[in-house]
């Protein structure tokens, strides 16, 4: 099934100049970029984006996360493709970079562990966000993008797939 999913390259990913490398991975995997924008997040928007986190985890995790996402501009991208939601999650890797497999974005470019982050009260800088499931993808895409900001076009390699 063709799905759409939301990616955020978080402030550390932008500041470490990893945008090109990260986008290349998705493009190389055949995922189509159908929307993209750079934006600062404010407190109110962070709360809307991470509304489930507040319910799922504790206030401290939410506050750290809200601070982290507001450290600098983020790049928001909507990707489209066959089973895009689970495929992108696989490419992103585990939440804690030290647990993420080599070959995943978090495993290749970030290394902080949960224990280190907790001990030193540091954020879990894991570079990227990806929608967890269909429900989250729908909510997040609607939150970040208007209909007019999402585009329809054919990638040249789509001709080779049929
Ligand atoms: P989650 O949605 O569980 O992870 P993922 O980003 O892999 O989908 O959590 C969202 C973010 O919350 C995660 O990227 C980092 C942060 N977080 C912490 O900082 N500490 C934690 O203990 C957890 C569970 C998450």
Tell me, what CATH number does 29's domain have?
Answer: 3.30.70.141
Residue nearest to atom 19 of ligand 1 (CA): 124
Q: What value does the mean pLDDT of the chain take?
A: 94
**pLDDT value, residue 161:** 63
Residue 129 annotated as catalytic? yes
Report d(CA 27, CA 24) in Å as an integer: 5
- Of all atoms in ligand 1, which is nearest to the CA of residue 130? 8
* Mean of pLDDT values over 91-116: 94
Residue nearest to atom 1 of ligand 1 (CA): 95
Q: Which residues span the domain enclosing 22?
A: 2-84+128-152
Which of 64, 105, 124, when mutated, tests ligand 1's pocket best, judged by the most ligand atoms within 8 Å of its CB?
124
Is 80 among the domain residues? yes
Question: pTM surpassing 0.85?
Answer: yes
Q: Is 155 helix (H, G, I), strand (E, B) or coil?
A: coil
> Is residue 69 predicted with pLDDT exceeding 90?
yes
Is 102 among the domain residues? no
Band (57; pLDDT cuts 50, 70, 90): confident
Q: Is 4 helix (H, G, I), strand (E, B) or coil?
A: strand
User: Burial, 147: exposed, middle or buried (Cβ in 10 Å; 0-12, 13-18, 19+)?
Assistant: exposed
Is 46 among the domain residues? yes
**pLDDT value, residue 22:** 98
Is 69 among the domain residues? yes
- Of all atoms in ligand 1, which is nearest to the CA of residue 52? 2
Q: Is 156 helix (H, G, I), strand (E, B) or coil?
A: coil
């Amino acid at each position: 099934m063709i799905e759409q999913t939301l990616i955020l390259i978080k402030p550390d990913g932008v500041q470490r100049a990893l945008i090109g490398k990260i986008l290349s991975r998705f493009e190389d995997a055949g995922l189509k970029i159908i929307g993209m924008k750079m934006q600062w997040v404010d407190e109110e928007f962070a709360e809307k984006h991470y509304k489930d986190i507040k319910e799922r985890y504790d206030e401290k995790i939410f506050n750290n996360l809200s601070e982290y996402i507001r450290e600098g501009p983020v790049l928001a991208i909507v990707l489209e493709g066959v089973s895009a939601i689970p495929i992108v999650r696989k490419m992103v890797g585990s939440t804690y970079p030290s647990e993420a497999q080599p070959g995943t974005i978090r495993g290749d470019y970030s290394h902080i562990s949960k224990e280190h982050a907790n001990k030193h009260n540091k954020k879990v800088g894991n570079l990227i966000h990806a929608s967890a499931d269909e429900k989250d993808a729908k909510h997040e895409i609607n939150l970040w993008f208007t209909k007019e900001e999402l585009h329809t076009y054919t990638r040249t390699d789509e001709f080779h797939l049929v």
